[in-house]
Structure 1
């Protein structure tokens, strides 16, 4: 019993000494409390007095539905040219008069590549013929023209030059011939070497122009006009006389 009373008195004395600081105390009495404090700057208020909204179901699908689905209007002419109406047997004849050699070649290339059902007639108007020219059509820029010239050298063709100015800038000339037969023979020789992009064209003289006539299915008329508007500075076209 005496031992228990002694221990109780000793415990009270130790508690008194600790509370009065006789056994040492921290510099900041709130240090322990601050150490256990929550990081308030990380607390985010998500609502004030009301439940936060739930994410909408299928939100991703709603955003996808808002995206425009229609194709650009500019593609309409291209699609019409690629898929012309079925030929119903009716024919149309179109004429281009007094074209420069460059414009005549543009129309010829367009008809040959996208409207093969049309047959083309070509005629010089006024002035004397400037001969027959073998060439590769103008490239997009000098780098492309140089690249094409390199391909010619690899095929063993060295008799050429790149046109640097004028309407045929960056075209590659492969020779001018006084007669059609000479031009055709040289073109066949180039084709035999693998030059697939070379063409033969009759050149108008100093004051000459070129007239074209194209005959084909009447159902392709509007598609052809749309292709001319979308890809060329449209030359004047009219019905054949």
Structure 2
């Protein structure tokens, strides 16, 4: 029994000695940070690097100098590719609109040449039969028109050159008036004509010469503020 106790004590002392010398270190790890670091390869060369989030964001969003130069060159090229147009007309403006348009044009394109043109805009068109010369002749013609089944008319009795003529309709556009003339002819009434019934107040159109490049781009932007105005070739 004493021998057994002796050998157990001897083994315990031997195990304690081996632990102190580190002979049993490969068999287990205590999990503590100093122990793990001491076992890393070249642990003394590990460095902590601090990264600035603002610089990372700027680096991710700022365009490269080459890309910015390319975009600028493309913009200049697109303006240069717009060949000058000999003459472009835009209108018809009221007096107040004309002042506003010419002001923007002078401000944004000071070197662009333009000419202001006054226009008399037709307000309406009348389909009519010319004067019959007397009331009796006009009444007789009116009876003939009724017999053709046409009832939308009246005898003109003012002091104009059309007195004792017959009005067969008032139309906003010349195209609509011409269609009425054709329709009346199909129903057997010939000799109808189209004339201007009234003229509106003067309108203004602008003719722009040799417009191209940056001037054309500026004009297109100004035009957005005047959506109802027609752009056309100069007459």
TM-score by length of 2: 0.33
Larger Rg computed on CA atoms: 2
TM-score by length of 1: 0.32
